[in-house]
Amino acid sequence: MNNLFPFLALNKIALQLGPLAIHWYAIFIVGGAALAVWLACKEAPKRNIKTDDIIDFVLFAFPLGIVGARLYYVIFQWSYYSQHPSQIIAMWDGGGAIYGSLIAGAIVLFVFSYYRMIHPLDLLDITIPGVFLAQAMGRWGNFVNQEAYGKIVSNLDWLPAFIRNQMFIDGHYRMPTFLFESIGTLSGFILVMVFRHRIKGLKRGDIFSFYLVWYGAVRFIVEGMRTDSLMLGPARVSQWLSVLLVIVGLVLFIYRRMKKNVSYIRK
């Protein structure tokens, strides 16, 4: 790492306990997950879902989501990891993809819902606010690791010093795209909470549909600014997936609105 003021740079390690190093990246990920679980447990009884079901789901989804995030990243960086196989498990140094985590989490959710006889859209609507919040927090782990940044810029005088210093990478200031996505997902969380408590007549799946459209749009815009995107040939993989999310979200919303006898969240 090249930094103009190296003494002001943030250390990736938050706490060293003998041989055990606790990384900021892990703190943000686990902290976000804990808040997501708390929010889901508060909402679950309103959908006649036991809090124990939420806890059990998280015990499956969280570790598999981490594996999915890493696996997704490794697959699209295989030219490097095929030559450095010992680095495949070194996620503490960064290198995880949110889309991989979402895909793994979705698979777990649908399997879990089937066996627990829970409507998957209920479980999705319950967990989405926490997912938004966890994603907003997780991007700050990327910030500490100096990942998910954008193009070179002349200065970042409009940002606090601690962000400017961390965004001075390889001799240049970089656009803080991590911050844009964090703000975007935090805004999504706020909007979802407003919808949930202020809008009557929300149908089952509306919250999930909003998430797909909102996050897909945010990620598409932010991904276009990044210089470290995962690529498949000339294409940015995450932008294609973002377009897919928006389409699926809109189709689901319209379909649920047109379908008769679809239950509402609130009446």
How far is it, in rounded angstroms, from Cα 29 to Cα 87? 20
Record the tokens describing residue 125, joined without a space: 């609507």
Environment class of 195 (CB within 10 Å of its CB; exposed 0-12, middle 13-18, buried 19+): middle
Q: How many residues does the chain have?
A: 267
Q: Judge whether 139 is annotated as a binding position.
A: yes
Phi, psi of 92 (to 5 degrees): -65, -20
Q: Are 125 and 208 in contact (CB under 8 A)?
A: yes
CA atoms of 189 and 204, how far apart (whole Å): 18
For 258, the enclosing helix (H) or strand (E) is: helix 237-258
Tokens representing 190 are 């706020």
**Contact between 123 and 11 (Cβ < 8 Å):** no
Which residues are known binding-site members? Answer: 139
